[in-house]
Amino acid sequence: MFDRRLVQYFDWGLLVVTLMIAGIGLMLLYSAVNTGGIRCILYYKQMIWLSAGFFIMILSFTFNYKYLDKWSPYIYIGCILLLVGVLIFGKHVGGSTRWLAVGPVSLQPSEPVKLGVVIILARYFSNGVKPSGLNLRDLILPIILIGLPFFLIASQPDLGTAGTIVLIGATMALFTKIEKKTLFFFILILVIILPIGWNLLEPYQQERILTLIFPNRDPLGAGYHIRQSKIAVGSGMLFGKGYLNGTQKMLAFLPEQHTDFIFSVLAEEWGFLGSFGVLFLYLFLIVFGLNIAYACRDKFGTILSVGITAMFFWQIFINIGMVIGLMPVVGMPLPLMSYGGSSIVTAFLGVGLLMNISMRRFMKD
């Protein structure tokens, strides 16, 4: 029989915040592509993806999230197979091979892979973790589970998404608790391998990092994105130039303004107050996720909630940091706002799983 508590514990606040962010994102996308030409069709495609994401979010309510504990190995293996499929059959666009073409639709598997990694790590961390915390031996398997998709995604190349998976996994491990000596060991290893990692980067990736440190190093080359983005953000001032009136946007000075740099469109047209309002909505999204984790009685559900919330947090942090010149330019969509079917559907699915956990947090088994 239907349990009324499923409705009683439904997180209506999270649903409202999610729909508000998605609605604002659709408005901004219309402005970003409203420059004539074929790009206008992206607005209608985004409406289709938002509808598909909303439908998938509703479907994610219909089963008990605890089944994901049992399904997690199969979900993870499926994600790895998708990434391998990208390497073999992927579509090459703009110097990267990140998409799988399924008929007229292109999918970016690295987006749902983030959720797949969160689910498998939630299974591992929720089973048999000692009160003293995770030691080096305990972390071998999580490192492998994170490392495999990391290298597959980094080889596309997509260091932004690959790095995000590492940050999500590290957040989940820290939440679970790591022994102090093990934590210090990893910090030492990180310091040692940084110079090696620098030499492994492609020349254009090194240039992006150097441009972040020295903004005027190459203003018409590697520094062009950051420079134009900062101009757009700063020109919005307090109240903005008005909806559809952004000059940087209209003159197309900012590349990828409908995807990775959509926040610059927001800042230019809606100003500081509009930007602050959207950041406040994102803060609510993070708080709702953490509140669901806190209220959950099940360890798997708690860690799963933390992982999904970390996924949203790091994407928001990196994207906005990139737009205002505090982070290097990487391919990182702004959740629920940037154009992109895979990222939209993954974000809605993540929200749906959070609501699923909230609805069933009273269940003991």
Q: How far is CA 8 from the centre of its chain?
A: 29
Where residue 1 falls among pLDDT bands split at 50, 70, 90? very low
Name 218's Cβ contacts closer than 8 Å, sequence gap at least 6.
207, 211, 224
The average pLDDT across 293-299 equals 91
Tokens of 215: 């903004």
Amino acid at 160: G
pLDDT of res. 18:
97
Asked if 341 contacts 107 with a C-beta cutoff of 8 angstroms, the reply is yes
The pLDDT of residue 74: 97
> How far, in Å, CA of 28 to CA of 41, rounded?
14
What are the beta bridge partners of residue 91? 99
What does pLDDT average to over the chain? 86
How far apart CA 170 and CA 307 sit, in angstroms, is: 10
Q: Which residue has the tokens 């990828």?
A: 256
Is 348 a residue whose pLDDT tops 60?
A: yes
> Cβ of 258: how many Cβ atoms within 10 Å?
24
DSSP annotation of 335 reads: T
Q: Which residue has the higher pLDDT, 159 or 343?
A: 343
User: Residue 231: its pLDDT value, please?
Assistant: 82
Predicted confidence (pLDDT) at residue 36 exceeds the cutoff of 50: yes
**What pLDDT band is residue 124 in, cutting at 50, 70 and 90?**
very high
pLDDT band of 122, cuts 50, 70, 90: very high
Provide the pLDDT for residue 364: 59
Q: Is the pLDDT of residue 220 over 80?
A: no
pLDDT in the model for residue 213? 62
| pLDDT 10s digits, 38-53 | 567 888 899 999 999 9
- Tell me: the pLDDT tens digits for 78-93? 999 999 999 888 887 7
The continuous run of DSSP H or E covering 213 comes out as helix 203-213
pLDDT in tens, 51-64: 999 999 999 988 89
DSSP 8-state assignment for residue 325 = T
pLDDT at 250 over 70: no
pLDDT of residue 307: 97
61-65, 181-185, 213-217: which range is least confident on average?
Answer: 213-217
Question: pLDDT at position 35, please?
Answer: 64
Token code pair at residue 155: 């080889």
